[in-house]
Structure 1
Amino acid sequence: MKESNVAKKYPWYVKIFFWNQMRRYGQVLEPAKLWGRTPKVFAALALLYGAIDRRKSPIEPSLRSLITVRVSQINWCEFCVDINSMMVLKRGNSEEKLSDLESYKDSDLFTEREKAAINYAEAVTLSNKQVTEKDREWLAKYFSEDDVIELTGLIAFQNMSSKFNAALNVPPQGFCQIKR
Structure 2
Amino acid sequence: MKNRQPWVPPLSKIPASLAPVVKMQKKHYGDVLNPTRLWGRMPRLFWLVALFVGWLERKQARLSPELRALLMTRVSQQCDCAFCIDANSLRLAQRCNALEKVQAVAEWRSSALFTGGERAALDYAEAMTATPPRISDEQKAALKQYYDDEAICEMTALVAFQNLSARFNAALEIPSQGLCDAQGKPHA
Q: Normalising by structure 1, report the TM-score.
A: 0.93
* Identity, % of aligned positions: 37
Correspondence list, 1:7-156, <5 A:
7-8=12-13, 10=15, 12-127=16-131, 130-156=134-160
- Separation in structure 1 between the aligned mates of residue 98 and residue 32 of structure 2, nearest angstrom: 27
User: Helix, strand or coil for the counterpart of 1:81?
Assistant: helix
Indicate the structure whose relative CO is greater, using CA pairs within 8 Å and at least 6 residues apart: 2
User: Helix, strand or coil for the counterpart of 2:52?
Assistant: helix
- Separation in structure 2 between the aligned mates of residue 93 and residue 106 of structure 1, nearest angstrom: 21
What is the Cα deviation at residue 131 of structure 1? 0.3
What is the Cα deviation at residue 9 of structure 1? 5.0
What is the Cα deviation at residue 8 of structure 1? 3.6
What is the Cα deviation at residue 128 of structure 1? 5.9
1:173 maps to 177
Superposed CA deviations along residues 18-41 of structure 1, whole A, max 9, x for unmatched, are: 111111211111111111111110
1:163 maps to 167
Aligned residues, how many? 178
What is the Cα deviation at residue 54 of structure 1? 1.1
Residue pair 2:14, 2:40 contacting (<8 A) in 1 also: no
Q: Normalising by structure 2, report the TM-score.
A: 0.89
- Separation in structure 1 between the aligned mates of residue 106 and residue 93 of structure 2, nearest angstrom: 16
User: Helix, strand or coil for the counterpart of 2:146?
Assistant: coil
What is the Cα deviation at residue 13 of structure 1? 2.5
Structure 1 unpaired stretches of 5+: none
- Separation in structure 2 between the aligned mates of residue 128 and residue 72 of structure 1, nearest angstrom: 17
- Separation in structure 2 between the aligned mates of residue 176 and residue 23 of structure 1, nearest angstrom: 17
Residue pair 1:62, 1:93 contacting (<8 A) in 2 also: no
Structure 2 unpaired stretches of 5+: 1-5
Runs of 4 or more consecutive aligned structure 1 residues displaced over 6 Å after TM superposition: none
User: Helix, strand or coil for the counterpart of 1:141?
Assistant: helix
RMSD (Å) for aligned C-alpha atoms: 1.6
Return the match for 2:9 from 3, 8, 11: 3
